[in-house]
Structure 1
Amino acid sequence: MPPAADRGSVLGQLALSELRMFVRAKAGPIFAIGLPLALLIIFGNIPFYNEHRKSLDGYTLLDVYVPILSAFVLATLSFNVVPAVLVSYREKGVLRRLRTTPVGPARVLAAQLLVNLGTAAVSVVAVLLVGRFGFGVELPRQAGGYAVGIVLAALALMSIGLFVAAVATSSQVADAVGTTLFYVMMFFAGLFLPIGAMPSLLKHISRAAPLGAAVQALTDASEGHWPHAAQLLTLVAYVVVFGAGAVRWFRWE
């Protein structure tokens, strides 16, 4: 077994290689970084989204949408990028071939996660800064709570993405499942209809959905409150259940 330093060096090289391919493909950076910023800029330039509303406790719709766009970033990477890449590697025999080398396929998974988590961090920070300095949206008042919410949300959604990659039988299936999950999850995150405006039944479903719990945690932190324990525990539950499922059923070939 190679020394720990060598293993770290191999993982770093793999992560750089995965990052180059991720950037070269262009679709990932465009959808994970460019699209949320484009939506923020569009919303920010529409007066309707900048009106303070009593129904939102004095906040604007743009204030409400910034946490949703942070969740949008995580959903894009977790449902549309991670499963497609890993299933593609399995179909092409990349993971099978790596099983016979000292590198091992597990490091490819780790490198993929590092690249996607790093991309998510860059995109979320960009959304927050553009919102603040471009349109006057306050930065999260409870920064620690916001960071905890983002990390748990990222782990929960990446676990679901890895589970999809584990059970999907082909790239087409992974794409179809990932796309369906993305739109369903974004609905319950409030992208198309704010959570506060949802009927009672949909609100309950939203609280139980990973993106719904994430957005509510991020919203609480934005307003200066520590995220509610129920929201954080919901995200932890998704990490445990889908992370264990991904490990149990992941196929290298």
Structure 2
Amino acid sequence: MLGALVRSEARLALRDPGTTLFAVGLPVVLVVILGCVPSFREHSADLGGARVIDLYLPITIVMVVALLGLSLAPGALARYREKGVLKRLATTPASPALLLAAQGAVIAGLAVLVAALLHVVGAAAFHVPTPEQPVGYVLALLLTIATLIALGLFIAAVAPSAGVANGIGVGAFYPLMFFAGLWVPREAMPDALVHIGDATPLGAAVGGLQDSMSGSWPSLSHVGVMVAYIVLCSLGAARWFRWT
């Protein structure tokens, strides 16, 4: 039953051109554009000797997960509630809980696929190194996906309609991505902003991915922040989620 729901949700997601364009095409285009800037391929003393393109690959991967978790899942679940899909599913073996699991599986699959694609493009075109701590990197990526899915479920729980869910997701995306370093790399931020960013889900996600890219395990503070958001948002979603 879960497999059938996953296949159905995957087909619906891929039929949405916005999903394909923003979740798959936009990150690849962004990495290519950044990599084509000559100064971004040079090591910078202002960034601790790192290259801009190396720093932006984890940021772009987090952006993909954020787009999926804060936009795709909340909007889809809110639409299902509005149209009575969740209410009808509650009377079948395909329970609403299985639908949530299917949504999470689709988001996780797309995120892993795009992350792998970005690493291939970055390594082949701009010599972006592979993670020096691959196990820690996989752990950080899975925690990032789980954090954004939990946030998405929480938004779907409190939003009264699909339009409001999309609005909340978009409204949360931009400030969260600022602290993740999308506009200004975290290495170039003042210490105060970095500390604030470390307390946000996306700042902690980027920090964990960058730690493992450089050969370290994700720090306990970054892991702890993501786990806290997963637990709190999941509890909030379970408390306030309405099936009808």
**TM-score normalised by length of structure 2:** 0.98
Select the residue among 124, 129, 138 that pairs with 1:133. 124
Matched, 1:170 2:167: no
Show the counterpart of 2:11: 20
Q: Deviation at 1:57?
A: 2.8
Q: CA deviation digits over 1:37-61, x for unaligned, max 9?
A: 0100111111121121122232210
Select the residue among 219, 227, 232 that pairs with 1:228. 219
Q: Deviation at 1:106?
A: 1.3
Structure 1 alignment gaps of length 5 or more? 1-9
Query: 2 CA distance for matches of 1:68 and 1:75?
Result: 10
Select the residue among 159, 163, 183 that pairs with 2:174. 183
* Contact 2:46/2:188 (8 A) holds in 1: no
Matched, 1:249 2:240: yes
Query: 1 CA distance for matches of 2:173 and 2:69?
Result: 9
Find the residue that maps to 2:58 and give its secondary structure. Answer: helix
For 1:76-87, what aligned pairs fall within 5 Å after superposition? Answer: 76-87=67-78
Show the counterpart of 2:48: 57
For 1:1-253, what aligned pairs fall within 5 Å after superposition? Answer: 10-253=1-244
Query: 1 CA distance for matches of 2:135 and 2:242?
Result: 37
In structure 1, what residue type is equivalent to 2:218?
P
Query: 1 CA distance for matches of 2:171 and 2:81?
Result: 22
Find the residue that maps to 1:103 and give its secondary structure. Answer: coil
Q: Deviation at 1:213?
A: 0.6
Query: 2 CA distance for matches of 1:64 and 1:200?
Result: 17
Query: 1 CA distance for matches of 2:219 and 2:99?
Result: 35
Query: 2 CA distance for matches of 1:73 and 1:203?
Result: 21
In structure 1, what residue type is equivalent to 2:54?
D
